[in-house]
Structure 1
Amino acid sequence: MLRALRAALGGAGPAVGLGSDAHGVVPAGTAAVVTTSGSSGYPKSVVLSRHALTASAMATSARLGEGAWLLALPAHYVAGLQVLVRALVSGHEPAILAGSFSAQAFAAASLSMASSVGGNAVPRFTSLVPAQLLTLLDAAENDDTVARAVRSFEAILIGGQALPVRVRERAAEAEVRIVRTYGSSETSGGCVYDGRPLDDVSLRVVAGEVHITGPTLAEGYLGDPDRTDAAFIRDAAGTRWYRTGDAGRLENGFLHIDGRIDNVIISGGINVSLDRVETAVRSLAGWESAVVVAATDERWGEASVVVRAGERVANTPDFAEVRSAVGEELGAPARPARVLMVDEIPTLPSGKPDRVALRAIVASGAQNGEHTA
């Protein structure tokens, strides 16, 4: 794949198709077509040009500096693809974590990377999802090799989903340097770092929805002109913007994401953002990996359900405390109705929670244990 990507970026080879067997005529200059269904289950094939991918990689280099990259994510998703593009643009062969992700495998791959070239230090970078970072932080508490490896990176990009505040605090305590990223396949990956857009990327918020413009935008969706026209719009000046579908705010140029516009339920006649409920739940110790999904409710019409893997350990707040904490922060209507204990949170190949599967589990009642408010 690396050879094919190098040829596609250089214009000497065809576009690389990632994530599916999608076929179709792509615009001249296309480097990759990334097909993903995300958490919604709706497949989309995003057309990315050579210019968009390299512009993103160069903007990252301008923000963070140049160095060597470790691929620890699936390469057929945009975050993994961009690790390879950044490595090619920087001139360093990427290190690759082969097989399933684990703290020990990550440490071995990290510590095998060259620390210097010609006597000059080579900074290390990688990109992870929050669940991977949490795995590393947990292991680092008792494994000095993992701790040394994770601290060896100049920056670890964290994206794909919101990073719980407690996990961010733990990273700081462990002296792990992280950069929170925001973006999507349609923006060639992360284009906002720690709330600030990369060079030449601009943001606006229209009717509560975040819009993005800049050289990293995709060409559109392969074979789906109607969806392309709905997502990529032009303003009166002719500037092309991508409608993210995310609710957000701009405060002094800093972007705050409040969740998906469509990830809202109506519980007892009150609109409740499941993303905000999930953020509140994940702020509690022991609940950092919990996922909040919607479920039908006989009394309220709709309600939120907290899905959590494993068993509660000592000093972890119980569900009554979770409900109380959410109510204090977001109001009584936002309190989750119940918690579902499962052996493992199902995930997509990208590492994100599989919310479609979770909603099916909640709806079917298949669980190891359930606590109701």
Structure 2
Amino acid sequence: MSAPETEAPSAVASSPRSARESQHGDVRPASIRRETRIAFFGFYGRHNFGDDLFGYLLQSISVRAPGIRPLIVGASPAQELTHRFHLPLARALWGRPGAMGAAARSVTYVAAVMRARAAIFGGGSLFGAHASLPFAKLIVNVGRRFNRPVAALGVSVGPFATAERRHAFASVLRAIPCIAVRDEASVRAVADATGLAPVNLKDLAFALPALYTPKRRSGDRRTLVVSIHLRQYMDAVLAILTKVDSQRLVDEVLFVSLDDESVAVTGDIARLFSPSNVSVGRFQYGDSITEVVDLLTSATCVVTSKLHGAIVSFVYDVPIMLFCYQRKCAEFLLDNALPGPQEPQPPDDVCVRHVTELLSRGSREQRYSRAGWHLDQFTQFITAIGNVQTRAGAV
């Protein structure tokens, strides 16, 4: 297999191999440390803001730890993702559907595990309703074959549509000794599947304010950000916009597409909305993750069906209306005691009332302050996995 490509130099220089390692490779002089590569696996490389954000966060957290070099496997070419990992020949096929794309991704996954010291499933719904069981099995089996520790951080587990799928994922989860989930429902799902309750460190994005200070726009202009990716919410959003416009609750409505799926839906809402008092703008996620963070944190309120549009807004104290199309959205509201409807299809008048109340408060409520704690917990988790010793020693 050809040597894998890493698209940026490590933030920490490698140290030479110690000539006095033990025969098991698990004792090294403290003064001579080698670079520890950790390969992170997730839904990266699909031009989705939330998944790309996970890659950015894992990269940012990892480089804070001495000697850790992250490999964000398959990551999108966003400006901030400087530790992307691709195989040169497979990269062009990465996003292709069908057998060719699957083969390219599989070969890349195997190469990343072989190149790394450990593997971590990092962020997102990687063990649930729409997750790939073959993908999860591949990473676990390759890790076992090449004696690489495998862990999971900031993931959701479940819900499982069938007992067969639950049983299949349970076997994968039992093979991952270190799991940190992002919500209480996942704690219960892992406990039911394995008999052991994992730690709940919450979503990786909860550490974001400790890693990035956004560039906020002037507070004089009141902006409502709308980011919707499902047509089932169009009527409710249009009702919200009509109310907001008629009462002049904001100065501007900004329609934001956070992934390719959002472009058509958000565009249709923008075309159907006929404002009388507010200005209208459009934004589409391109090649900068922090640009989106800047935009969300400058908003007066965010109306979205995208979980990470909501989480990023929440951790920077921006009021949110989140449409709970999946259980993970309702779990986020519940776990953080946030107001708003939690059913998959709330009545239009309930949505309008909620957003009107949020915009009528007049000032942001400062309620989130634990980013530093989450950053420390995530850093300790990654460092611990990097330090796990194997029979073959460090890679």
Give the TM-score normalised by structure 2. Answer: 0.30
Give the TM-score normalised by structure 1. Answer: 0.31
Q: Which has the larger radius of gyration?
A: 2
Q: 1 or 2, which has the higher helix percentage? A: 2
